[in-house]
A and B are shown apart, each in its own frame.
Chain A
Amino acid sequence: MRSRYALRFIALGYLALLLGIPVVLVFINAFQDGFAAAWESVTTPEAQHAFYLTLVMVAVAVPLNTIFGVIAALVIVRQRFRGRALLNAAIDLPFAVSPVVVGLSLLLVYGTVDGWVGKWFAEQGIRIIFSTPGMILATMFVSLPFVVRETIPVLREIGTEQEQAAATLGAGSLQTFFRITLPAIRWGVAYGVVLTTARALGEFGAVSIVSGKLSGETETATLLVESEFRRFNETGAYAASVVLAVLALVTLLAMNLIKPKESRT
């Protein structure tokens, strides 16, 4: 009996110290000069642009990584070929490599002056580094593994019998995918999407390197938090943090709301 309480105390205490108290303090500090001051600091043109840019990152990176993630999971689970293990391992690379290194490697490839392909793009008038495309690439890179990793176990679990049954009933491969496979794996995919979104919202290191940090131009919400903090505008930094946290919470809530009753039981 006592050990049960002890375990619970450890679990909750750990969470409170690491997560709960710091997050609560961020909220308190954001509103230390009143709600009006906080609101003002997150509605400046620079701040508005930063949030807009963050949402653009999410709007591009999440759908692309979702489609890629489902395809990659299908390939890894259902196909046997040389290099499958390599592909499986490579997908975890963004987990293993520090985002700063990711940012630097993108500079090497897409850098305007001496980048591997960046020079060619620059000649075509397409700017990648210190511009939105580069920041999107960085965001996509760091948020790549989530959908794949969340989808693989559910795909393994459902097996192939339902799909074979659909085939004998006359369903073509696209029909089978959209009517049988996707509905069967949707909660794994949805959880992956939520994690991808959260990661894309919060990405700092890689984007920071390739952005150039031009206020009102290439500054995302996380970069805004940093620059406000450096300028000793604490209210601005904390208020922007609160907005980011709320966005992430909304994503989580949205998934729980769209979940139909059938799968909650």
Chain B
Amino acid sequence: MSIVVDSVTKHFGDYTALDDVSLEVRDGSLTALLGPSGGGKSTLLRVIAGLETPDAGTVSIGGEDATRQPPQQRNVGFVFQHYAAFKHMTVAKNVAFGLTIRKRPGLGRLARTARSRPEEIDERVDELLRLVHLEGFAHRYPSQLSGGQRQRMALARALAVQPRVLLLDEPFGALDATVRKELRAWLRRLHDEVHVTTVFVTHDQEEAMEVAEQIVVLNHGKIERVGSPKQLYEEPGNEFVMGFIGPISELSGRSIRPHDVDILREPADGTVEAMIDRIVHLGFEVRVELTLGDGGRTWVQTTKTQAEELELFEGDIVWLRPNAPAEDAPAEPAVPR
């Protein structure tokens, strides 16, 4: 279901975590909240889940105002960075938790939702464990699982209650690089399978670009820009977004992508003279670090083939020229869609 956040503000003491934030998340989409730590992205996610109450503004889920609803009534799936596994329960019990508490009438506010019979719960748990590839682990305890397995268990647990939206707070932040890459691709595929509206928080721009359809860049409690990964990369709109999404270099006093600079052997129209300080070979990519004629420093990203063609060596004098139309950062802030 769609999520609409309207003019939400949240303070923690003197600290403003969210400052008049408005955002719309389309039904069935996969959205990343991206930004530096302390930018407000986790707070925004927790406000959507009902784990934090906004000081001002409203949140609606599926067209229904949820601002005053406690998390129990919002029917959202939430996945925590550190898994929040129920340590005293087996994997199967963890996954079944949301279903078993609904089973008992009168005990919780959720007695109103459909009750499940034990066999139905077992079936659903089996199905979910297959979905997250943990079939053989039903009777293990969380302490017997790896980090990646625990996070997949947490995901199955969140999906068990058929949430209206799935919210993930830095879901891969505590995992090592290899597992992280695997899980990213897997989350993408899972979303194609399950189609639940998903919002995840990350500070890793590569993760956001790879997984999300829509990226929301948050900084200092404000939304800097909303757009598809391609849009944000090509038209970042402002200096902060440009620096945060993708690498950045400087030439003639303006920011530029380091691969948007040509290296020439002869001076030409609009070129700047520079001396090569260092050439770093990163496999296919070659990074050339240079000192400009005016003493400033910059770097250029090129390919192995090009570097070999130009026969670049440290100490050489070369001429630099932007190869793409200037992307001047407009001062106006991005408008959320």
Contacts and interface: CB of A to CB of B under 8 A. Distances in A.
Interface of A: 161-162, 164-172, 174-175, 179-180, 183-184, 262
B47 to A, nearest CB: 13
Contact of B101 (A161, A165, A171, A184): A171
B61 to A, nearest CB: 13
Given A170-B98, A179-B101, A164 B71 contact: yes
B80 A167 contact: no
Contacts of B109: 170, 172
Contacts of A180: 86
For the complex of A and B, 8 pairs with smallest distance between CB atoms: A169-B98, A161-B84, A165-B84, A168-B78, A172-B108, A170-B110, A183-B88, A167-B71
B200 interface: no
A255 B110 CA distance: 36
B72 interface: yes
Given A169-B157, A174-B107, A164 B51 contact: yes
Given A170-B161, A175-B107, A184-B88, A164 B101 contact: no
A168 B80 CA distance: 11
B161 A164 contact: no
B86 A162 contact: yes
Nearest to B90: A262
A262 B88 contact: yes
Contacts of B78: 164-165, 168
A161 B82 contact: yes
A183 to B, nearest CB: 4
A172 B112 CA distance: 13
A166 B50 CA distance: 13
Interface string B244-269: 00000000000000000000000000
Contacts of A161: 80, 82, 84
Chain B interface residue bracket vs A? 20 to 34
B330 interface: no
Contacts of A164: 51, 71, 78, 80, 84
A167 B98 CA distance: 9
Contacts, number: 72
A164 B49 CA distance: 10
A195 to B, nearest CB: 22
Contacts of A184: 87-88
Interface string B84-115: 11111000000001100110000111100100
Nearest to B80: A161
B84 A175 contact: no
Nearest to B79: A165
Given A161-B82, A162-B86, A168 B107 contact: no
B7 interface: no
B70 interface: yes
B116 interface: no
Contacts of A179: 97, 101
Contact of A170 (B84, B108, B141): B108
Contacts of A170: 72, 75, 98, 101-102, 108-110, 113, 161
B164 to A, nearest CB: 12
Contact of B107 (A167, A169, A172, A183): A172
B40 interface: no
B125 interface: no
Nearest to A169: B98
Interface in B134-175: 141, 154, 157-158, 160-161
A260 to B, nearest CB: 9
Contacts of B141: 262
Interface string B8-41: 0000000000000000000000000000000000
Contacts of A166: 86, 97
Nearest to B98: A169
Contacts of A175: 101, 107-108
Given A165-B80, A169-B101, A184-B88, 13 more contacts: A164-B71, A165-B154, A168-B50, A168-B71, A169-B157, A169-B158, A170-B161, A171-B97, A172-B109, A174-B107, A175-B101, A175-B108, A179-B97
B87 A168 contact: no
A182 to B, nearest CB: 10
30 contacts: A161-B80, A161-B84, A162-B85, A162-B87, A164-B71, A165-B78, A165-B80, A165-B157, A166-B97, A167-B72, A168-B49, A168-B51, A168-B71, A168-B78, A168-B158, A169-B97, A169-B101, A169-B161, A170-B72, A170-B108, A170-B110, A172-B107, A172-B109, A172-B110, A175-B107, A175-B108, A179-B101, A180-B86, A184-B88, A262-B141
